[in-house]
């Protein structure tokens, strides 16, 4: 069975989908990048913020990306475990079950 692939928005090469990284640029455009091109973009930016992606658990956003870029500064969607994105904190930790 052939593994599903994507084409990197920067270099144009095909990679397995499991290697895809999401990045939202200054125009709010969603880019599908290979890990190497994502590293390059992040190193070129003065500041990059992270957040949930549309297809991946995490995405990077150019600091100048519009605030209404998906998901921008809005709260991330709830995970399958009822926690908002990221590691549990006292505010979003699951109650202990006895």
Number of Cβ atoms within 10 Å of the Cβ of 46 = 7
Over residues 37-63, mean pLDDT = 87
pLDDT digit string, tens, across residues 27-36: 889 999 999 9
Q: How many residues does the chain have?
A: 98
Q: In terms of C-beta density within 10 A (0-12 exposed, 13-18 middle, 19 or more buried), how is residue 54 classed?
A: exposed
Instruction: Round to whole Å and give the CA distance between 98 and 88.
Output: 19
pLDDT digit string, tens, across residues 59-94: 888 877 666 665 544 444 444 444 444 444 444 444
């Amino acid at each position: 069975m052939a593994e599903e692939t994507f084409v990197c928005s920067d270099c144009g090469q095909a990679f397995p989908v499991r290697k895809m990284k999401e990045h939202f640029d200054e125009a709010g455009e969603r880019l599908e990048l290979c890990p190497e091109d994502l590293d390059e973009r992040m190193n070129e930016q003065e500041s990059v913020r992270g957040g949930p992606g549309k297809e991946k658990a995490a995405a990077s956003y150019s600091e100048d990306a519009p605030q209404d870029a998906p998901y921008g500064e809005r709260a991330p969607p709830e995970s399958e475990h009822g926690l908002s994105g990221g590691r549990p904190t006292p505010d979003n930790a699951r109650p202990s079950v006895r």
